[in-house]
Structure 1
């Protein structure tokens, strides 16, 4: 069942921060204030599609930061496995210096709270949640294990939320910044199709 429109479940869990610091009690709702949050899950460290997604988020880190958005990554691996993976360069099969927190969900409690556990393997599906400043989940994408995410589309969704919150305009199919949006009314729809 989708969590869109619902309050994002809080969690407290071990994390490794961008500078390599390990903390035992990262608290989502206490440690992040007045920002949008992209919370994303991957199945396991030291796999194949997962590093491409983690690195893709990292390459676009400044784009998220410019939009006042915090990225947080989560898997069931221990914090020490995350640390080992970060300590290996990308060219040698690691993920290198990731600029956002990596959370350890070793008991699987966070993936259960977000309802994204693979039914047979017990790891997280490739799930991403966009959470607004009031802790409401506004966007959710869940992929099966073989299929990597489109990270750029998460930025588009952030831009959509910010347009709606600042101007009250809604975003039609395939909307991008600079493209026409519309007033949420019959007149707005007609104007959209006639411009």
Structure 2
């Protein structure tokens, strides 16, 4: 796996690439999304097994992310032609069907390499997931080995938690969900939260 340039609290590596957006080829850049949160996730290959379950799950819930000011982008080292063929394959046949998120073609592997998810010997990406804030800073990084998919619920929760901390300056405890108690990051003021614990 490549070391990459992606670091928490630092600007996310910029990229420009061809993607399939609404069934059409389109050049997109990460900077196009400045002012919004972005979930950028990498997957190994088109026409495989775990990958369509993740991509479909994120696409089907794209509106939930948009509702909180976040866009979702998927990327692999496949070509945009392969992406489009997969989108045009029905879900009941292992395809993606209509997509509500862009699928980026990282043919040169430079995006995967910059984000530190490239499996060099195979030329594919590990299952990396990156939460990028509206300023373009990396807030969260996870990288799974190939056989295990990611949770849309957990990703949505993370974006909600980061947005909450940005807005209110409080911190979110383990398992936090919107509406749950948060912690004021102060020795004295945090006692209010801890006094409610069992």
Q: 1:146 — aligned with what?
A: 147
- Count of residues in correspondence between the two structures: 192
Q: Contact 2:44 / 2:127 at 8 angstroms: preserved in 1?
A: yes
Counterpart position of 2:69: 68
1:1-195 counterparts in 2 under 5 A? 3-17=7-21, 19-23=22-26, 25-29=27-31, 31-195=32-196
Q: Kindly tell me: are residues 33 and 145 of structure 1, through their superposed partners in 2, closer, same or farther at Cα, counting changes over 3 Å? A: same
Per the TM alignment, residue 151 of structure 1 is displaced from its structure 2 partner at its CA by 1.2
**Partner Cα separation in structure 1 for residue 146 and residue 121 of structure 2:** 12
Offset of residue 89 of structure 1: 1.2
Could you tell me which runs of 5 or more consecutive residues in structure 2 were left unpaired when the two chains were aligned.
none
On the 8 A contact 2:117/2:126 being kept in 1, the answer is: yes
- Aligned-residue CA RMSD (Å): 1.2
Superposed CA offset, 1:65-87 (max 9, x none): 10111111100000000000000
Flag structure 1 segments of 5+ consecutive residues without an equivalent: none
The CA deviation string for residues 7-63 of structure 1, in whole angstroms up to 9 with x for no partner, is: 10111111110x21112x32221x223110010000000000000000110121111
Superposition deviation, residue 92 in structure 1: 1.5
| Alpha-carbon separation, structure 1, partners of 2:88 and 2:65 | 24
- 1: distance between equivalents of 2:9 and 2:35? 18
* Larger deviation, residues 118-127 vs 166-175: 118-127
Distance, in Å, in 2 between the alignment partners of 1:135 and 1:101 is 18
CA deviation vs aligned residue, 1:132-154 (integer Å, no higher than 9, x gap): 01100001111000111011111
Give the deviation of 1:187 after TM superposition. 2.0
In 1, Cα distance between the equivalents of 2:151 and 2:82? 25
Output the TM-score relative to the length of structure 2: 0.93
CA distance in 1, matches of 2:186, 2:121: 45
SS in 1 for 2:28: strand
Provide TM-score, normalisation by structure 1. Answer: 0.94
Secondary structure of 2:162 counterpart: helix
